[in-house]
Amino acid sequence: MEVAAALIVFASDFGPGPYAGICRGVIRRLAPACDILDLTHDLPAFDPRAGAVWLEAAAPYLPEAVHLAVDDPGVGGARRAVVLACARGDLLVGPDNGLWSLAWDAHGGQRGAWSLENPAWRLEPVSATFHGRDVFAPAAARLALGEAPDAAGPAIAPSSLVRVALPVARVTAGRIEAEVIALDPFGSALLGVRAGDAAAVGLRPGVRAEVAGRPAACVATFADAAPGGLCLLGDSSGWLLLAVREGSAAMALGLRAGAAATVTFAPASS
C-alpha cells in the first residue's frame, strides 16, 4: 500500500504543559529526520466532538501527511486506537472516539482502517493514562518512516468507526434554534448551523437579531460590528459564528460547548 510523505501534523488537547513535547521527543527518537507541524495543542479538552469540528476545518488547508490527533477522555478504556488511510494519501492516527470522523472526507474519504494493536508499534509498558506517548506517537513515527499501515494491527471495518453526531439546528423564518458546537480561542461560538442555511431564512447583514435577550448585529465582517458588540456572521469554515468584537461571546453570555443558542431576527425595515 502506498504511504504518506514523512511529515507529521500533530494536534492535541495537551495545552502548554510537557505532554506534547514528550510526544514530539518520542517521534524524534524513532524518526529523527521527519518534520513535525504542530497544528494546535489547544483542542477543547475532553471534547472529541469539538476537536472533530476543528480538525475538519483545518483539513482542506493541510499538506498530505501522517496526521496525529489526541483528544482522548476515554484513554485506557475500551475505545480502540486506530490508523486510517485516506484516498488522498493521508494517514490518520488517534483514538476511535469520533475525533477524525468529520475530517476524513476532507482527506478524500477512507480507504482502509486498522486497530493499532501491534506491540512492536508501541512503547512498552503502555501507560494507562498517556497513550499519546506510548501508542499514537510511536505509530505516527513508523508511518512517517514508510511502514505500511496494515502492519499496525488487524483490519477493521470503516463502518464500525465511531462518528460524532452534530446537532441538527431548527431553522425557521425569523428563528434559529441551534447548539454551540465549539468555542474558538477568542471565545466566539460556532453554532451548529451553516451560514448559508441561516442566510436562506433571512439572516444577513443589516438584519436585527437577538440572542439570549441581547441585541446582536448581523454583519459580514468583524469590522462591521461595534467594538464590544455582540454579532453574528459566517465564520471561515462555513458555520454561523456568534461573537463579540474584540471580546468573548462565551464570557458575555456564559456559553460553553453543548449550550443551546436561539437567534431571533427581523428585517431592519420592520
- pLDDT tens per residue across span 201-249: 888 899 999 999 999 999 999 999 999 999 999 999 999 999 999 999 9
Q: Label residue 173 by pLDDT band (50, 70, 90).
A: confident
74-93 burial code (b ≥16 CB/10 A, e <16):
ebeeebbbbbbbbeeebbbb
Contact 215, 208 (CB under 8 A): yes
pLDDT in tens, 53-101: 999 999 999 999 999 999 999 999 999 999 999 999 999 999 999 999 9
pTM score, whole prediction? 0.92
Q: Looking at residue 203, what is its pLDDT?
A: 86
The full set of domain ranges for the chain reads 7-160, 170-266
Fold classification of 7-160 (topology level): Rossmann fold (3.40.50)
Architecture of domain 170-266: Beta Barrel (2.40)
